[in-house]
Each structure stands twice: as C-alpha cells, then as structure tokens.
Structure 1
C-alpha cells in the first residue's frame, strides 16, 4: 500500500497474514506521519518501500522491542508483538528509529553503502545526529553506552583500521564485534564512537547540520576521530 497523503513518497507493506500486526499498524502509521514532515523540513524525504514484519522477541533490540534496517531501496521494521518493552517504545521511540533508517537510505544513495570501518562508524553516527536534529532528543542508549575514558582506548585501533574493509560477513574487521560485542569489545562501542565522531565534526564545523552531511565522505571525519583521543 502507498503511504498516506502525509507520507506520499513512502510505500508501506505489512507482512500480516496472521494478523499479528493488527494492533500495531496504527502506531506504525502514526510514527511514519510524525517522521515524514520532520524530514521534509530539512530535505526531501526519499521515495522508498517500507516492509513491516512481526518477529520473535530475540530478533529485536532488547531495550526497545523493535529494530530497523535500511539500505538504498528498502527500510525494514521488525516489531516483536509479545515483547515486554514494545508498547512503551512505540510513539516517538519508534518514530526516531524510522528516521534513523531513513537517514541510511539517503546516505547510501548519496555516497554508496559502507565498505570500510570508517564508513560504518560514520553511517551510524550520522544517523544518530540526524535524528537528534529532527527530534532534539537525548542520545539513544547505544549512542552513550560507553564513557569517553573507555572508548578512547579503542581510538588508536579505529584510526589504524579506519579505511580498511569491514562488514558483517567474512571480513577480517568484524562489525559484529565493533557494534554488538561479539568479540572482546564492549557492546555498542561502534555506535557510541560513531555518534561522538560526527558530534565532534559538527562542533568543528558550526555552520553545518547533520542533515547537510549526506554527501561528505567518511574519510573527512577521521580528523574528528583523532581529536577525540585528546
């Protein structure tokens, strides 16, 4: 189905043959209608398909009850209808998650998908700062998961590997480790570090806003990463 008049560029598809999303559809539509005009104030909302699915509790962010994914063609929203945290994280938390994924869509269309460690860090930090611009919210838990004194320990490694290939498959530099603590790194390190890198970049360029960074290559953010080590 196409979006409502208020979300004209967005084409929403519910995977709902068993009706698991029936009670959640109004919340999804309200969140979409919240996000769309916020994006419209700073840039053109991308024309994109949005796939909404009901999933198991184990498939979502434990603290939220939902999770999102975005690429240049599709935003996927996973909701866990039985999750104990879901209902309290509808409304603005859901809208912020959608905005985060929409930023990924726009970023990927502008500069391509992430290939290096730096690309991944900046992609997530950029989306977090974009959401902050739209909503004026405090950082999400994953964006403030680690104090500066701790994430600074990982800055030399991030500097060394910034331009090296990284990903979620068989790459030598694992984004699962940087983002989700699948190895020795703390959970959400990459999200927190990316958020801080982009924040430092914006501090160093007070004439810019997060919505104006779409086409800036990740390599331009490396000096901001180095500055965080001080």
Structure 2
C-alpha cells in the first residue's frame, strides 16, 4: 500500500518545513499501521496562512476515504516547533477519518459526527497516550453534562449546526469534547474494544453511552 505525498509549494512558503513534515507523516503511518490495515492514501501538504489551529500552527482535514489534507501556516510562531508528535497526532486523527469514510462515512447527523470525531481523537490517544488535545477536554463538568443532554435530544438531527457544535465559542470545541468523552465512556465499558477496532462501528452503538452520561 502506498501513501503519495503531494507538496503544494510553488510559492516556497513551506521551504525548510517539507523534510520534517514528511518525516512526521512516515512516523505516523508506521504507528497507525501497527493496529490498522494499510491503505492507499493521498496526503496533500499545503500552506494556508490563518487557516490552522492557532496554538499548533497546522490543521488537518479529510474530505474522502482516499485523501487527507494537512495545512500549515509557516508564519505562525508555533508551526515549526509542532512538527513532531503534535503533527503526528493530527495525521492519525485524520487517517482514522479516512478509514471511517471507507465504512459508514463521516455521518450526516449530530450523533454520527460526535462518534466520528470522538473515535478519531481516542485513536490518537490509543497510539500516543499523553494528555488529550485542548479541544478534547475543553468543557468543564457542568458544560459537558449540558452538552450531553442537548445531544440526547438532537442525536438524529440532520440539520444540526456543525460549526456551532464543533467550532463555536460558547463554549469552544463543544462537539469535540463531548465526542471524546462519549467514546471514552464507551471504551471504559467495553475494554476489549479500541478506536481501531471500532473504526466502522455504527454510531447507534454509542447512544447508550451518551444516555449513561446524562443519567
């Protein structure tokens, strides 16, 4: 199986960063393939100032099961210093999305999105351990409980506001934190499972864990 890395760098903005980015991709791939089946994948590496996670200097996006996009802001002071494990964690997060796209897909409902993001976050945790990402633990206990209650009533909603749930500011990263906690709850109740084994699991399997968070 082959990963083809496409470096979009005609402007030269990524000069000096390409080598460590490639190395991080190789390390992340090796780590992930220890617990998943290898796949063919296109990896697009691009510069897009201002369109990254500010404290990392980069971001990932996975539109299909065949491609992930890694975006960097070379002018961000955090970019160059986060091309090691922080970048690898983003890569495996996006890889999990790509693998899930090859099964049930990202999802169209709030519940499906929560499961997809939670599984990807917990997959990075399975591989690397260490502290969760900021967006995965962004909610205080009361806010997490409120989010779980809201999600219980809108789990099947196809018209949910994705931007508000996952990128909003009141509070920030609400969907990521709830999804991460939801999958964490499920894994605690099913110790034989891992985010890797659950990559194609139906989102409905996790509704009970959400209900337990509310009860």
Aligned residue among 53, 56, 63 for 1:64: 56
Query: Match for residue 141 of structure 2?
Result: 148
C-alpha contact 1:46 1:105 (8 A) present in aligned 2: no
Aligned residue among 166, 190, 194 for 1:209: 194
Measured in 2, the distance between the counterparts of 1:41 and 1:10 equals 16
Report the count of equivalent residues: 214
1:20 shift after superposition: 1.4
1:89 shift after superposition: 1.3
1:137 shift after superposition: 2.4
State the structure with bigger RCO (CA 8 A, min sep 6), 1 or 2: 2
Query: Where do residues 1-230 of structure 1 align in structure 2 (5 Å cutoff)?
Result: 9-56=2-49, 58-70=50-62, 71-165=64-158, 172-181=159-168, 185-230=170-215
C-alpha contact 1:60 1:78 (8 A) present in aligned 2: yes
1:88 shift after superposition: 2.1
Measured in 1, the distance between the counterparts of 2:44 and 2:74 equals 16
Gaps of 5+ in 2: none
Measured in 1, the distance between the counterparts of 2:209 and 2:141 equals 14
Measured in 2, the distance between the counterparts of 1:66 and 1:106 equals 21
1:215 shift after superposition: 1.6
Question: Deviations 1:126-160 (Å, cap 9, x if unpaired)?
Answer: 00100111111211000001122211112222011
Superposition TM-score, scaled by structure 1 size: 0.90
Measured in 1, the distance between the counterparts of 2:84 and 2:147 equals 35
Deviation above 6 Å: which 4+ runs of structure 1?
none
Q: What is the DSSP-based 3-state SS (H/G/I as helix, E as strand, rest coil) of the residue aligned with 2:135?
A: helix
C-alpha contact 2:17 2:80 (8 A) present in aligned 1: no
C-alpha contact 2:147 2:178 (8 A) present in aligned 1: no
Measured in 1, the distance between the counterparts of 2:168 and 2:92 equals 25
Measured in 2, the distance between the counterparts of 1:10 and 1:23 equals 21
Superposition TM-score, scaled by structure 2 size: 0.96
Root-mean-square deviation (Å): 1.2
C-alpha contact 2:41 2:66 (8 A) present in aligned 1: yes
